[in-house]
Amino acid sequence: METEKRYEAGLDTMKELFSQEVRNGMEGIKQISPDLWEMIVSFGFGDIYSRNTLSHAQREVITLTTLITQGAFDQLRVHLQAALNVGLTKEEIMEIIIHCAGYVGFPKAVHAMGIAGEVFKGIEE
């Protein structure tokens, strides 16, 4: 696949995951480093997220889990929104966090649940 097509595939996948507002925020990286941005879109969302075998919902289960485990809470918020966008329910998201509690300990689970609570509240309003 040519680079241009990989980039297009990545943008298409991002549209399914993230709202226009979130994507605008993510483009801040494009202003700083167009090369990192190109890799995120073409490799991260084009090569990886656009693959078959796992659905977008299953991929967000993986993404939420790895973000919680590595303590990358800075990126958790947009992926909590993405998880809801691709069909995971609030109950399922909270269940992922509960499952993580046994595997990464309570501190990171509690931190994640606090952010999830904020994201859920923001959507209700």
**Would you state the structure tokens that stand for residue 111, as one six-digit string?**
């931190």
What residue has token string 């998201």?
Answer: 93
* 110 sits near a second copy (criterion: CB under 8 A): yes
- The rounded distance, in Å, linking the Cα atoms of 100 and 7 is 33
- The rounded distance, in Å, linking the Cα atoms of 79 and 14 is 11
Task: Return the residue of 67, 80, 82, 83 that touches a second copy, per CB under 8 A.
Answer: 67
* 103 sits near a second copy (criterion: CB under 8 A): yes
Whole-angstrom Cα Rg for the chain: 15
**Would you state the structure tokens that stand for residue 67, as one six-digit string?**
């973000």
Q: Residues touching a second copy: how many (CB under 8 A)?
A: 61
- The rounded distance, in Å, linking the Cα atoms of 65 and 108 is 11
- Would you give the binding string for a second copy spanning residues 13-52, x where CB under 8 A is met? ---------------xx-xxx-xx--xx--xx--xxx-x-
- Would you give the binding string for a second copy spanning residues 73-102, x where CB under 8 A is met? xxx---------------xx-xxxxxxxxx
Binding region for a second copy (CB under 8 A): 1-3, 28-29, 31-33, 35-36, 39-40, 43-44, 47-49, 51, 53-54, 58-59, 61-63, 65-75, 91-92, 94-111, 113-114, 116-117, 120
